[in-house]
Structure 1
Amino acid sequence: MIFSKHNRGVSQMSETTLGPPSSPGQRSQLPMLQMPDKFRYNLLCVFGEFVGTFMYLLFSFAGTQVSNTPMAPDGSPPNTSNLLYTSLCFGFSLTVNVWAFFRVTGGLFNPAVTLALCLTGGMPALRSLMVFPAQLVAGIAAAGVVSAMFPGEPNFKTRLGGGTSIAQGLFIEMFLTAQLVFVIIMLAVVKHKSTYLAPVGIGLAFFLCELVGDYFTGGSLNPARSLGPDVINRQFPGYHWIYWVGPLLGSLLASGFYHLLCFVRWENINPGQDYNEWEIKARADSAMSDNTMTDHVHGTYSRTPSSRGQTYQPPSSAGTYQDAPNATTMDQDSQVPQKDPVSPEQQV
């Protein structure tokens, strides 16, 4: 499986290949392992995204079903306890499952995120087209399982509330999705020292977005999250389209902003954020010890591979050694005659 990795401060993308190396003379007895590597890895990515999206939405839908008591009349004050409970369920479920699948498929679980990674070079276009429907089907499957397991009418669908108009709901979904997607790009797509903690930051960002949007739009930010419950309930409101257009527009907005930052070379604005002073000093000391050996009195010996032990570079100040063979000079401080240094080859 090949992922494109954007390294901060590096202009080109590198590819990391996951999986054991295959030799031409070895063939596995398993039919799936006899497929071409690229096709097999794409299938595994689709399967992983299906399972991850299913698990993420399963626990999210279950928490929403538990927290949703009979809906309050439209326009009444929100039940903050229920909103907090639902937001925590979605945030923690995303954090846990993204962390579990982070090294397998990248842990996208959202068609809007898949679109953003395709636009920013984090996922090939072919794989994105394969993953997109898998996430939608996983959302339907998760909604069906929760509807079958828990008693009562399924009550985890996304609907406009609090007097929110369709236009307002569209822009709420767009901007909240843009916030989530931009965090994903900067924490997971762009590689940095804290990439391994990206699932935590992504989960916190989603929790924040749910706190803001849950009461007004249901806090979808994900077409698969809205499609699944509506398919199971066989009820599609007239404004169902905003749960597709809003998140996809938010994905485009976040991707466009990221490309704008790349255009102005954002990594050069504040490059010290990914480094510690002791690391810089350690690297400088290591480079100095590997490349040069300095004699503060007599000069510098070059340690480059082409002239190791052969080149003597004298200082340019007066009263020091002259670059002549077998020359003898007087040290100004000690007034003791000294000879030019001899390289190891000359000693032999």
Structure 2
Amino acid sequence: MKSLKKYFAEGLGTFALVLFGCGAATIASVSQSGPEGIGLLGISLAFGLSVVVMAYTIGPISGCHINPAISIAMLAAGKLSVKDTVGYVIAQCIGAIIAAAVLYLLASGSAGFSMPEWGLGSNGWGDGYLGEYNMTSALVAEFVFTFLFLLVIFGTTAKNASPAMAGLAIGISLALIHMVAIPITGTSVNPARSLGPALFAGGAAMSQLWLFIVAPIAGGLCAALVRNVFLDD
């Protein structure tokens, strides 16, 4: 029962992250007052603040990973069991898919709605996607920013760190990452966050999904290695 509570918490947290973050990119980015909507800063804050509020909501239950790259990195660092890693990742993916389904339902209620290429806040790269950066830029960005994100998480959740500030620091770091990386890939650093919207958008979003699974996990594993070798627990 304790494990099921943790898995449910992870699913719920990932649901909230995708609904708030991708919802900001899909719905709130276009406002009645103009096409600019809340802009890049608003979308970045939506992702970052969703992590902050979920950290204090489900953190005491599951640790609030809400990201397969984090759970797999925690496994590599010896902080999570294989059983819980599998349970967390499955729950996170389910939560993200349900959130994307709800977002699709909401977005399709708008008059004249049609699913665009890379719709529902899907991640991507190349011609037609935001800044039209190439695959190399996308791969490097997702790897490096996930690496830095995990270092923040390892540092703020260490034994000698202040646990009350961990959720805030992690959320702020995610917002900062989005401020830089949105024009490149839309910012993933989270395979589950990429999976949900891509399943509904299809097309290019699905064909490019592999990068947003491989690069964040690789970046997280590299951060776990650095933590194990160079940083204090």
For this structure pair, what is the TM-score category when the shorter chain's length is used for normalisation?
0.7 to 0.9
* Matched-pair contact (CA < 8 Å) for 1:68–1:156: no
Counterpart code for 1:102: G
Q: Does 1:192 align with 2:160?
A: yes
The SS at the match of 1:224 is helix
Pair 1:46-2:7 in alignment? yes
User: Which residue of the partner structure matches residue 155 of structure 1?
Assistant: 120
* Mapped partners of 1:95, 1:64: distance in 2: 18
Partners in 2 of 1:157 and 1:245 — Cα distance? 16
Scaled by the length of structure 1, the TM-score of the pair is 0.59
Mapped to 2, the partners of 1:133 and 1:193 lie a distance apart of 29
Asked whether the 8 Å contact 2:28–2:37 carries over to 1, the reply is no
Q: Which amino acid aligns with 1:163?
A: E
Any idea what the Cα deviations from partners look like across 1:218-251, whole Å, max 9, x if unmatched?
Answer: 1011111111011122334433211011101110
Q: Which residue of 1 aligns with 2:18?
A: 57
Q: Retained in 2: the 8 A contact 1:68–1:155? A: no
Shift of 1:133: 1.1
Q: CA shift at 1:122, angstroms?
A: 1.7
Q: Could you tell me which amino acid in structure 1 is paired with residue 22 of structure 2?
A: F
Are 1:169 and 2:138 matched, yes or no? yes
Question: 1:82 matched to which residue of 2?
Answer: 39
C-alpha distance in structure 1 between counterparts of 2:28 and 2:4, whole Å? 36
Question: Unaligned regions of 5+ residues in structure 1, if any?
Answer: 1-39, 70-78, 268-348
CA-to-partner distance for each residue in 1:246-287, whole Å, 9 max, x for gaps?
A: 10111011111101114xxx47xxxxxxxxxxxxxxxxxxxx
Distance 1:171 1:187 in 2: 24
Secondary structure of 2:62's counterpart equals: coil
Percent identity of equivalent pairs:
27
CA separation in 2, counterparts of 1:256 and 1:96? 29
Distance 2:152 2:144 in 1: 12
Give the C-alpha shift of residue 126 in structure 1: 1.1
* C-alpha contact (below 8 Å) 2:120/2:201 kept by paired residues: no
Q: Report how far residue 81 of structure 1 moved.
A: 5.8
Distance 1:185 1:80 in 2: 35
CA-to-partner distance for each residue in 1:61-117, whole Å, 9 max, x for gaps? 211112444xxxxxxxxx796111110111111111112111011000000000111
Provide the secondary structure at the position in 1 that maps to 2:103. Answer: helix
Is 177-186 or 230-239 further displaced after alignment?
230-239
Number of paired residues? 216
Q: Which residue of 1 aligns with 2:195?
A: 227
Relative to structure 1, is the Cα distance of residues 163 and 252 closer, same or farther in structure 2, using a 3 angstrom cutoff?
A: same
Higher alpha-carbon Rg: 1
Higher strand share: 1
Q: Which of 70, 80, 98 is the matching residue for 1:113?
A: 70
2:100 and 2:120 in contact (8 A); partners too: no
8 Å Cα contact 1:87/1:210 also seen in 2: yes
**Are 2:182 and 1:214 aligned?**
yes
Instruction: Provide the aligned C-alpha RMSD in A.
Output: 2.0
**2:60 partner SS:** coil
Structure 2 Cα separation of the partners of residues 193 and 49 of structure 1: 23
**1:96 has 2:53 as partner:** yes
Give the Cα–Cα distance (whole angstroms) in 1 for the partners of residues 176 and 77 of structure 2. Answer: 24
**Structure 2: stretches of 5+ with no match in the other structure:** 31-35
Report how far residue 131 of structure 1 moved: 1.1
Q: Structure 1: how far apart are the matches of 2:93 and 2:167? A: 21
